[in-house]
């Protein structure tokens, strides 16, 4: 059953929840999972709805095996989330008194609009996740190629990938031909590599 058929059968909101849960389950040490499933589900809903971004899912037998999301960078994703004010408020209420999380959200907003980010291509791979039960089946590579095809269809010649230096994903991106352009810190004391991937 292909992705288009799945999207007709499964309620869209359930897809966003599935994606959010897989994000939480597979990127356990990341900051975004700490914001909760409601925040992530809203974020992926906005990614899917916006004209400047894309969400690609891989389902089999109604089970989410993996997904990838990306943006053309022509508008700010977090600003797009403001178009759902009530959902955003309910998602953020649980952390209203958690100062560290609020500071990290501010850091992300600064990064996405900061001068350092503006030195590089606007288009970016945001997240790619594959369920552990489906590793080494070519799903991650297939999702990566589909995202590259999306960028190519939008006349994008290269895109950015940001990944923590300690993660195994670095070797995956290198195998796809991505090159490290610089090292950055979106959050303090967490070093990340900024890759640039050319689109063939």
What is the average pLDDT across 50-68?
A: 95
Distances (CA, A) of 78 to 19, 111, 130, 151, 191: 18, 12, 24, 21, 23
Q: How confident is the model at residue 10 (pLDDT cuts 50, 70, 90)?
A: confident
What is the average pLDDT across 27-54?
A: 88
Integer Cα distance of 98 and 28 in angstroms: 19
Sequence ranges of the domains in the chain: 3-198
Integer Cα distance of 45 and 21 in angstroms: 13
173: phi > 0 → left, psi -120 to 50 → alpha, else beta; which? alpha
- Closest Cα partner for 46 from 84, 10, 93? 84
Report the chain's mean pLDDT, rounded to a whole number: 85
What's the pTM value of the predicted model, to 2 decimals?
A: 0.83
CATH level 3 topology of 3-198: Aminopeptidase (3.40.630)
Query: Scanning the structure block, which residue is given the tokens 């960078």?
Result: 73
Higher pLDDT, 91 or 7: 91
Torsion of CA 100, 86, 129, 175, to 10 degrees: -70
**Apex 71 CA angle, 13 and 131, nearest 5:** 55
Strand order in the sheet with 63-71: 53-60, 63-71, 124-130, 158-164, 192-198, 179-184
Q: What is the pLDDT of residue 48?
A: 95
Q: Give the 3-state secondary structure of residue 131.
A: coil
């Amino acid at each position: 059953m292909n992705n288009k058929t799945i999207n007709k059968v499964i309620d869209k909101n359930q897809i966003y929840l599935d994606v959010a849960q897989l994000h939480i389950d597979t990127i356990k040490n990341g900051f975004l999972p700490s914001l909760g499933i409601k925040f992530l589900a809203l974020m992926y809903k906005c990614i899917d709805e916006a004209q400047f971004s894309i969400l690609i899912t891989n389902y089999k037998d109604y089970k989410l095996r993996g997904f990838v999301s990306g943006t053309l960078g022509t508008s700010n994703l977090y600003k797009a989330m403001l178009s759902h004010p009530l959902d955003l408020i309910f998602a953020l209420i649980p952390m209203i008194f958690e100062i560290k999380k609020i500071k990290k959200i501010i850091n992300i907003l600064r990064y996405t609009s900061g001068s350092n980010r503006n030195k590089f291509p606007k288009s970016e791979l945001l997240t790619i996740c594959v369920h552990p039960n489906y590793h080494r089946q070519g799903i991650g590579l297939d999702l990566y190629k589909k995202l590259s095809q999306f960028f190519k269809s939008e006349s994008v010649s290269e895109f950015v990938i940001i990944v923590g230096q300690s993660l195994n994903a670095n070797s995956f991106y290198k195998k796809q031909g991505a090159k490290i352009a610089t090292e950055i810190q979106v959050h303090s004391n967490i070093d990340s590599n900024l890759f640039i991937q050319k689109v063939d």
